[in-house]
Amino acid sequence: MSGGVDSSVAAALLHAQGYDVVGATMKLFCYGDEVPDRPCCSLDSINDARRICESLGVPHYVLNLESAFGHDVVDNFVQEYAAGRTPIPCVRCNTFTKFRDLLRKADAVDAQFIATGHYARVIGGELHRGVDPSKDQTYFLWGIDRAVVSRMLLPVGAQTKAETRAVARSLGLAVAEKVESQDICFVPDGDHAKIIRQRLGDDTPALACGPIVLADGRVVGEHEGYARFTIGQRRGLPGGFAEPMFVVAIHPETRAVVIGPRDALLGRGVVAREVNWLVDAPAVGARVQVQVRHRAPAAGAEIIRVDGDEIELALAEPVAAITPGQSLVLYDGTRVLGGGFIERAAGTRPRLPVLAALAG
Amino acid sequence: MRTPIYLDHAATTPVRAEVLEAMLPFFGARFGNPSSAHRWGREARAALEEARERLAALIGARGDEICFTSGGTEGDNLAVLGTWRALRDRRRAVVSAPIEHKAVLAAMHEVAHEGGEERWAPTDRHGIVVQDRYEALVDDEVALCSVMWVNNEIGVIQDIGALAATAKSRGAMFHTDAVQALGKVAIDARAVPFDTLTISGHKIGAPKGIGAIFIRRGTPLESLVFGGAQERGRRPGTENIAMAVGFARAAELAVAEREQECTRVAALRDRLEAELVARIPDAIVHGRGAMRAPHILSLSVPGTDSESLLMALDLAGIAASSGSACQSGSVEPSHVLTALGVPADLGAAAIRMSLGALTTDDAITRVAELFPSLIDKARRLGGVRA
């Protein structure tokens, strides 16, 4: 329980359905730098969770998973940025922290299920998208152990966010009107460079100056650290081009940030690693839907290669901004088949921009 | 669930009926401010000074040597910082032990932050301050030594007489945090040469928010708070009459019942310890090789973790604790066990059960049966350690 509306309502709904509920809040990092009014993961939100449980008449515990979270999630987060990728820490938190470490705490108190406030559903032992398409969180849940799915209870996944808030209001929960958490919980001010600097030191190459280049290697500017960029980003790039320019690649070995026009972002295939299946692994040739970004529409794809825990798919239509480090999630309708971390886009065509200003 | 069992008396205790009764008039008609010159004021003043003298008498002190505080943390802060600030021009160092309560540890760090020098006397593996290592630290640079009488996590009793005598022989002041000692060991300011001593009400059946510090006549001490002349200017602010009266009453009861209650509690603790060790032969009882207060049992079982055990215990109706809880309520590694050289995995498995007024023979029997079964289960699952 984060102290937010979703997990609070999840607890309240299960309690009302007659489950023997035990509330738990994970303490995942040090609260040294308190940010006021944070919707979750702060001292105040722990107190909110505790008060919700007190009002329901169920026990509540704060579980210190700081050291494992630091290793499994935060360290990986900075390493991914240093490797020129854009990490998705919520996936690793779900995989390792919530649905592995926390589950073992649940075992210690004989809890049969682990319930969260995720917008997703478990139907017949399989994971499905939540009912509310704008809130669906399966993009972050593909990495959990398949055997755990049948132990998951996701009560808010069967309703919309508006319905969740309505339930919170009807139950008189104090958190009903709480704002949505948008940031990564351990990067409360959105300044991920600060965490990278804290963990890797002031002289990390990831935050050192480097060139901004075109696909042919021409230097068109300078940046203050490739870890500040992600694929598809426009902010912080030099102007003077006749068409909008985007980050299309990051090369940590040369610290180069490659930029290009919109169609240079398009990928016709995608390679993912650390693939995890929540159903029996589909065969090469299987047609699926894939999602390569949170909240992006699903795209048709065909599995063209499976190599251990690496997979390659051909996309039916080009997809923009396939970003190494983000999730690739495979679906069959609302059913989650599995997923992996994007290694690279395949089938991209580098194209140089129309050099209006530069040429002139 | 059967009646829950409270085994966390070292954290806090319920207010005794006699104490509540003694306080009630001051929440009603006797509401006066002791600084006022009128009849309400006089009445309040009389009650306050009577409470002060009754409390003083219990520890061999005089009334003017007792200063009421909000509790243990304030007392520890005032004793360490107040004494050091008063002496810092001549003596800049302070000596303490790594097993102290955070109220002393943090005050020591504040001394260092303000330009003083903190020195740490190590303990042996049972938690007893090593006398010759301590003596080596106490030279004519030292303003104050502070060593707790009874440790709150493992219950070990220090030789306060010897430690205080060493400090006095080198011209240093001596403070002892006696929060867990009051009602458990005999405290006599005439017999033991401590200069300041901190006690707290809620550990002995008074409410939270009241405590006292004994300040021997002539002890240099600067106030940490500025305002009026209350408590001889050492602790300005309108006095909490009701709670001072309640504290004096609770202390009287605790001291009067000390020998009998300690015998009763020690027998229960020793039985619990013996039964648990018999059923869990590899359990490690912290501080077992030293003199211990009768109410605390701290133990670690290899292959378990305190966080999961405390949850399982609570769900089974047994309230215990680990080392010290942090602000969030999560379990933190114990600095006390670390200081004793207890390996990190055992430190992370520590469970403190503290007995007291609510502890019955039947409760101990139930815990002695239930605890080993929870241990068996925890070991089957394998502790997850964060």
The per-residue DSSP string of B56-76 comes to HHHTT--GGGEEEESSHHHHH
Contact residues on chain A for B329, CB-CB shorter than 8 A: 46, 50, 61-62
Q: Give the ipTM.
A: 0.86
> What's the pLDDT score for residue B385?
43
* The amino acid at B326: C
Nearest by CB to residue A59, choosing from B308, B315, B386, is B315
CA A88/CA A93 separation, integer angstroms:
9
Chain B residue with minimum CA distance to A21 = B315
Q: Say whether pLDDT at B365 is over 90.
A: yes
Query: Could you list the active site residues of B?
Result: 326
In a mutational test of the A interface, the residue from B308, B313, B327 whose CB has the highest number of chain A CBs within 10 Å is B308
Catalytic residue, from A40, A41, A90, A185: name it. Answer: A185
On whether any CB of chain B is under 8 Å from the CB of A101, the answer is yes
Kind plus residue range of the DSSP H or E element containing B205: none
Locate B244 and state its tokens: 């001072």
CA of B223, closest CA in chain A: separation in Å?
29
> Under an 8 Å CB criterion, which residues of B touch A?
307-312, 314-315, 327-332, 377-378, 381-382, 384-386
Contact residues on chain B for A63, CB-CB shorter than 8 A: 307, 330, 386
Residues A192-245 pLDDT 10s: 999 999 999 999 999 999 999 999 999 999 999 999 999 999 998 998 898 999
* The amino acid at A81: Y
Average pLDDT over residues B278-289: 96
8 Å CB contact of A64 and B332: yes
8 Å CB contact of B312 and A43: no
Residues A88-101 pLDDT 10s: 999 999 999 999 99
8 Å CB contact of A43 and B327: yes
> What's the pLDDT score for residue B333?
76
> What's the pLDDT score for residue B383?
46
Q: Say whether pLDDT at A354 is over 70.
A: no
In a mutational test of the A interface, the residue from B311, B318, B322, B326 whose CB has the highest number of chain A CBs within 10 Å is B311
Q: Say whether pLDDT at A76 is over 50.
A: yes
> What's the pLDDT score for residue A347?
73
CA distances for B350 relative to A62, B314, B345, angstroms: 17, 15, 9
Contact residues on chain B for A31, CB-CB shorter than 8 A: 327-328
CA of B370, closest CA in chain A: separation in Å?
14
Which CB contacts under 8 angstroms, 24+ apart, belong to B12-17? B12/B202, B12/B203, B12/B208, B13/B202, B13/B203, B13/B204, B13/B205, B13/B356, B13/B357, B13/B358, B14/B205, B14/B357, B14/B358, B15/B205, B15/B206, B15/B207, B15/B246, B16/B205, B16/B206, B16/B249, B16/B250, B16/B253, B16/B357
Taking each helix axis from N to C end, the angle separating B241-256 and B258-279, rounded to the nearest 10 degrees, works out to 70
Nearest to B180 by CA among B99, B94, B68: B99
Residues B80-109 pLDDT 10s: 999 999 999 999 999 999 999 999 999 999
The per-residue DSSP string of A20-89 comes to ---EEEEE-S--SS--TT-SSSSHHHHHHHHHHHHHHT--EEEEE-HHHHIIIIIIHHHHHHHTT----H
On whether any CB of chain B is under 8 Å from the CB of A62, the answer is yes
Contact residues on chain B for A61, CB-CB shorter than 8 A: 307, 310-311, 314, 329
Of A175 and A273, the structure prediction assigns the larger pLDDT to: A273
Using only C-alpha atoms, what is the Rg of chain A? 22
Residue A185 annotated to the active site: yes
CA of A69, closest CA in chain B: separation in Å?
8
Q: Say whether pLDDT at A287 is over 60.
A: yes
Average pLDDT over residues B183-206: 98
Chain A residue with minimum CA distance to B325 = A62
Q: Say whether pLDDT at B327 is over 70.
A: no
Residues A317-326 pLDDT 10s: 999 999 999 9
The per-residue DSSP string of A246-294 comes to EEEEEETTTTEEEEEEGGGGEEEEEEEEEEEESSSPPPTT-EEEEE-ST
Nearest to A114 by CA among A17, A8, A21, A6: A21
Contact residues on chain B for A46, CB-CB shorter than 8 A: 328-329
What mean pLDDT value characterizes chain A? 91
* Residues A150/A9, Cβ–Cβ less than 8 Å: no
pLDDT band at A259 (very low <50, low <70, confident <90, very high): very high
Nearest to A9 by CA among A43, A46, A56: A56
A200 C-beta neighbours (distance < 10 Å), count = 18
> What's the pLDDT score for residue B386?
39
Nearest to A6 by CA among A138, A123, A124, A181: A181
On whether any CB of chain B is under 8 Å from the CB of A46, the answer is yes
8 Å CB contact of A59 and B314: yes
CA of B345, closest CA in chain A: separation in Å?
13
> What's the pLDDT score for residue B245?
98
> What's the pLDDT score for residue B2?
75
Q: Say whether pLDDT at A188 is over 90.
A: no
Q: What is the 3-state secondary structure (H, E, C) of A60-72?
A: EEEEECHHHHHHH
**Is residue B283 classed as helix, strand or coil in its secondary structure?**
coil
CA of B184, closest CA in chain A: separation in Å?
32
Residues B161-179 pLDDT 10s: 999 999 999 999 999 999 9
Q: Which residue has the tokens 């991209």?
A: A348
8 Å CB contact of A63 and B307: yes
Q: Say whether pLDDT at B60 is over 90.
A: yes
Chain A residue with minimum CA distance to B348 = A64
CA A277/CA A267 separation, integer angstroms:
24
Kind plus residue range of the DSSP H or E element containing B294: none
Nearest by CB to residue B328, choosing from A43, A104, A109, is A43
CA B106/CA B146 separation, integer angstroms:
12
pLDDT band at A183 (very low <50, low <70, confident <90, very high): confident
- A342 bridge partner residues: A272
> What's the pLDDT score for residue B317?
96
Average pLDDT over residues A91-114: 95
Question: CA quadruple A31, A34, A36, A38: dihedral positive or negative?
Answer: negative
8 Å CB contact of B328 and A104: no
Using only C-alpha atoms, what is the Rg of chain B? 21
Chain A 288-317, CB below 8 Å of chain B: which residues? Answer: none
8 Å CB contact of A104 and B381: yes
Phi and psi for B189 in degrees, rounded to 5?
-65, -20
What mean pLDDT value characterizes chain B? 95
* The amino acid at B132: D
Taking each helix axis from N to C end, the angle separating A43-56 and A5-16, rounded to the nearest 10 degrees, works out to 20
Nearest by CB to residue A105, choosing from B308, B314, B329, is B308
Q: Say whether pLDDT at B214 is over 50.
A: yes
CA A333/CA A298 separation, integer angstroms:
9
> What's the pLDDT score for residue A73?
96
CA distances for A177 relative to A52, A123, A163, B84, angstroms: 14, 29, 12, 50
CA B118/CA B101 separation, integer angstroms:
15
Q: Which residue has the tokens 């309708």?
A: A333
Considering only A63-77, B85-99, B350-364, which range has the smallest mean pLDDT?
A: A63-77
CA B368/CA B350 separation, integer angstroms:
16
* Residues B83/B104, Cβ–Cβ less than 8 Å: no
Q: Which residues contact B83 (CB under 8 A, 6 or more apart)?
A: B143, B144, B173, B175, B195, B196, B219, B220, B221
B46 C-beta neighbours (distance < 10 Å), count = 14
pLDDT band at A44 (very low <50, low <70, confident <90, very high): confident
Q: Say whether pLDDT at A36 is over 80.
A: no
Nearest by CB to residue B381, choosing from A62, A63, A107, is A107
> What's the pLDDT score for residue A92?
97
CA distances for A111 relative to A152, A246, A297, B166, angstroms: 11, 48, 36, 55
Phi and psi for A27 in degrees, rounded to 5?
-95, 115
Range among A28-37, A183-192, A264-273 with highest mean pLDDT value: A264-273
Residues A296-320 pLDDT 10s: 999 999 999 999 999 999 999 999 9
CB pairs under 8 A between A and B: 60
The secondary structure of residue B156, as a DSSP letter, is: B
> What's the pLDDT score for residue A239?
86
Q: Which residues contact B110 (CB under 8 A, 6 or more apart)?
A: B81
The secondary structure of residue A93, as a DSSP letter, is: I
On whether any CB of chain B is under 8 Å from the CB of A38, the answer is no
8 Å CB contact of A22 and B315: yes
8 Å CB contact of A63 and B386: yes
